[in-house]
Amino acid sequence: MSENRVAEYEQLGPIAVITMSHPPVNSLGHGLRSAIVALIDQALADPQISAIVLTGGEKIFSAGADIREFDAQKQASAPTLHDVIEVIEASGKPIVAAIAGACLGGGLELAMGCHFRVARSDASLGLPEVKLGLLPGAGGTQRAPRLLGIERALNMIVSGEPERARQFAGTALLDEVVDGSVLDAAVAFACEVVKGQLVPKRARDIKIDAPRAEPLLQFARTAVAAASRSFPAPTQCVEAVAHAVGKRFDEGLRLEREIFMGLMATPESNALRHIFAAERAASKLQDVPADTPLRDIRRVGVIGAGTMGGGITMAFVDAGVPVVLLETRQEALDRGIEIIRGNYAASMKKGKLSQTQFDERLSLIEPTLDYACLADVDLVIEAVFEEMNVKRAVFGRLDETLKSGAILASNTSALDLNEIASFTKRPQDVIGLHFFSPANVMRLLEIVRGTETAPDVLATCMHLSKRIRKTAVVAGVCEGFIGNRMIARYAEASNLLMMQGASPQQIDGALQRFGLAMGPFRMSDLAGLDISTAARKRKAAVDPASQERIVADVLCEAGRLGQKTGSGWYRYEAGKRDAIPDPSVDAIIEQFRGARGIAARKISDQEVIERCIYALVNEGARILEEGIAARASDIDVVYLSGYGFPRHRGGPMLYADTVGLANVVRALKRFAAEPGAQSWWEPAPLLVKLVEAGRSFN
Ligand code: T1G
């Protein structure tokens, strides 16, 4: 077997086996593309070889084009993926793809260029380019309709969702679906081809017979346009498939390439590719070796069966991790269990959970009032009342009870984790695991690293986050960590705008048109005005200077706590969630302004966006320069997966890069120069430094 860096060559009788071996996912970078062409040429030149098997081995075929090459334009350097596929199609010796594991994007396009395809039944086949704001740019939109028919190809390309190979059995996409070694099966298949039993065929030669093509495409255009307002790629995918129906193959290929290059240049694709890299970068722990031994987490304890404790419990049992759920009072424990049971029953009713899964999940929960039941758990997550004395009591008890080596985590959303760690004799085992409500649904998990948190504790929790399907970001210790610290600044900015003349509905509307899932006042009504008011009062008790009466206090005192009381910033009809602007709130705001001598001014939607989003960005820059976040892209991940920031903008920090940091700084300086402006409008030193250096966050 001859080997070179990223692919191997082996001769098995009349069959040449070319194995891609470019870990971790056989991404089709320039090196691997060149190696495939070189080894195909070697097989073609060898008279002993009658057929070729192209494979990635028994674990993965290929995850497609190398996403990291896109910005370096290396994906366009010869041999391009198109070139490789042309070499395969033009081969005088039949080429059989042997597919196991992930066969995605350009990987599947490569396989579709082969004359035959053999796949293991559990292999994952898909064209996920649309999730990167692109479309299959190496013939996928032209070959898939020929191998699968238009409807199935459209679904695969527009959804970007992979399917198991067994779903394609009997289609022209797969010639054979096997359960054992796909390599053995493919070599045997190739031998059959050599014996002349099977005639090699090219996907490009298949005629598309689609009498219902036009109505189907028209339906797809309408449905996709309605579902993807912020992203151009899905509708372009439909157009590219339409070219497959109406045009010669090479013309369709040319048009596909044109559309692909156009999409590559869109800010939306740039944002989605940024998110792909950012989510993976966030899991990389700075100054913690990748091979740090992990602690074994087999059983978890959760303290507190309230909203957060119940959600956290569900997140773990959903991943098959047993949980000991502790409360101090039986009725609170019973209520917590009942809520969990109700949530699972609702999922079962929707068909998302089977009775067996329902029973399994509940059997993984051990309710208790006794700390002794926590003696052998490997990790405890405290989710009790956000009051330091309560944390002190709980962590004191945990310190006495838990076995050596157990991890003690707090779900606190703002309190000082280092102080919490000081309540124990094992601060090195203490960490913050800040879940977002509802904890069984929200993907974001802020892992708060205390000054003394041991590296292996951090590495264990990062690894665990993947097991419970969370997107984790490491935060240092400060009030509000990353997300809540920034959202506090954003809320202040929105409150100032409201005081200066913009109505809550104008501010919410502008930010929702910007792409946020919900504006700040609508969000406040959803969360409950009493929650944020109580947090402000707790802070004022410690820091009187931060005590300033705001309109929300007036609304709270009037019993307008938000959606749950039928009114807050908005009015709500009984049983409905529609936020209805309420003239009585406008009157309260007007009165509040009048009492402070504030004359309302006209404020543009653009100013609303700039003040609210730049306030976020400026606080993010401070978080970055203080080392609370390791990367700007980590901050983007927090906002995208925890705060509904629009994915087509890539996160607040990427948005600032897109706007241009110099423009952000110029606007902040303008805001800071206004009479009586808050000091936090001053541009963060890091922002100024980046502008002076002509650099960006990402
Ligand atoms: N290019 C470069 N690196 C990639 C990659 C790719 N396509 N896919 C994954 N990686 C890296 C990833 O960054 C991480 O690196 C490591 O592999 C493990 O990934 C012309 C233009 C395959 C299902 O969109 O869906 O083909 O952080 O953590 O959870 O039409 O990776 O360790 O340094 O995700 O086991 C289309 C994207 C490309 C597939 C594995 N293909 N990848 O999931 O591991 S565009 C995709 C995935 C294209 C053509 C077009 C997943 C996975 P690091 P991971 P995983």
pLDDT at residue number 197 = 74
Q: Are the CB atoms for 558 and 591 separated by under 8 Å?
A: no
pLDDT at residue number 27 = 97
Centroid of ligand 1 to alpha carbon of 108 (angstroms): 13
Question: Are residues 508 and 436 both part of a single domain?
Answer: no
Question: Are residues 334 and 423 both part of a single domain?
Answer: yes
Neighbours of 91 (CB within 10 A): 19
Question: Are residues 336 and 371 both part of a single domain?
Answer: yes
Residue 368 domain-assigned (yes or no): yes
The structural domain count of the chain equals 3
Question: What is the rounded CA–CA span in Å between residue 299 and residue 315?
Answer: 13
Tokens, residue 323? 């949980």
CATH number at residue 525: 1.10.1040.50
Neighbours of 576 (CB within 10 A): 10
The catalytically annotated residue of 8, 89, 129, 268 is 129
CATH number at residue 317: 3.40.50.720
CATH number at residue 92: 3.90.226.10
Does 251 qualify as catalytic in the annotation? no
Question: Are residues 362 and 433 both part of a single domain?
Answer: yes
Question: Are residues 328 and 439 both part of a single domain?
Answer: yes
Strand partners, 17: 10, 53
Per the listing, tokens 């600044």 go with 489
Enter the pTM of the model. Answer: 0.92
Question: Are residues 591 and 453 both part of a single domain?
Answer: no
**Final residue in a domain of this structure, among 600, 630, 658:** 600
Residue 184 domain-assigned (yes or no): yes
Q: Are the CB atoms for 408 and 424 separated by under 8 Å?
A: yes
pLDDT at residue number 74 = 72
**Of ligand 1's atoms, which has the minimum distance to the CA of residue 70?**
21
Question: Are residues 459 and 512 both part of a single domain?
Answer: no
Residue 648 domain-assigned (yes or no): no
Mean pLDDT in order along the chain per 10 residues (698 residues): 76 97 96 97 97 97 93 80 97 97 98 98 98 97 97 96 97 97 97 87 90 91 91 96 93 97 95 95 92 97 96 98 97 97 96 95 97 97 93 96 97 93 97 95 96 97 97 95 94 95 96 94 92 79 76 92 93 91 94 92 97 98 97 97 94 97 98 94 97 95
Question: What is the rounded CA–CA span in Å between residue 612 and residue 395?
Answer: 38
Question: Are residues 467 and 507 both part of a single domain?
Answer: no
Residue 261 domain-assigned (yes or no): no
By CB atoms closer than 10 A (0-12, 13-18, 19+), residue 453 is: buried
pLDDT at residue number 497 = 97
Per the listing, tokens 């049992």 go with 317
Candidate of 22, 26, 61, 67 to mutate for ligand 1, largest count of ligand atoms within 8 Å of Cβ: 67
3-state SS, one letter per residue, for 9-74 = EEEECCEEEEEECCCCCCCECHHHHHHHHHHHHHHHHCCCCCEEEEECCCCCCECCECHHHHHHCH
Instruction: Tell me if 275 CB under 6 Å of ligand 1.
Output: no
Q: Is the dihedral of CA 120, 122, 126, 128 positive or negative?
A: negative
Residue 230 domain-assigned (yes or no): yes
Instruction: Tell me if 129 CB under 6 Å of ligand 1.
Output: yes
Question: Are residues 325 and 460 both part of a single domain?
Answer: yes
**Final residue in a domain of this structure, among 571, 600, 629:** 600
**Final residue in a domain of this structure, among 459, 475, 491:** 475
Candidate of 25, 61, 462, 637 to mutate for ligand 1, largest count of ligand atoms within 8 Å of Cβ: 25
Q: Are the CB atoms for 49 and 93 separated by under 8 Å?
A: yes
Question: Are residues 506 and 466 both part of a single domain?
Answer: no
User: How many Å separate Cα 453 from the centre of its chain?
Assistant: 26
> Kindly report the CA angle at 448 between 444 and 453, in degrees rounded to 5?
145
Does 109 qualify as catalytic in the annotation? yes
Question: Are residues 339 and 405 both part of a single domain?
Answer: yes
Q: Are the CB atoms for 214 and 202 separated by under 8 Å?
A: no
Question: What is the rounded CA–CA span in Å between residue 614 and residue 655?
Answer: 10
Instruction: Tell me if 80 CB under 6 Å of ligand 1.
Output: no
Q: Are the CB atoms for 292 and 481 separated by under 8 Å?
A: no
**Of ligand 1's atoms, which has the minimum distance to the CA of residue 281?**
27
Characterize the bridge pairing of strands 124-126 and 379-382.
unpaired
Centroid of ligand 1 to alpha carbon of 265 (angstroms): 20
Instruction: Tell me if 333 CB under 6 Å of ligand 1.
Output: no
Residue 636 domain-assigned (yes or no): no
pLDDT in tens, 524-564: 999 889 888 887 787 777 777 767 788 999 999 999 999 98
Which residue range is the domain that position 365 belongs to?
Answer: 300-475
Centroid of ligand 1 to alpha carbon of 66 (angstroms): 8
Question: Are residues 584 and 466 both part of a single domain?
Answer: no
Residue 430 domain-assigned (yes or no): yes
Residue 651 domain-assigned (yes or no): no
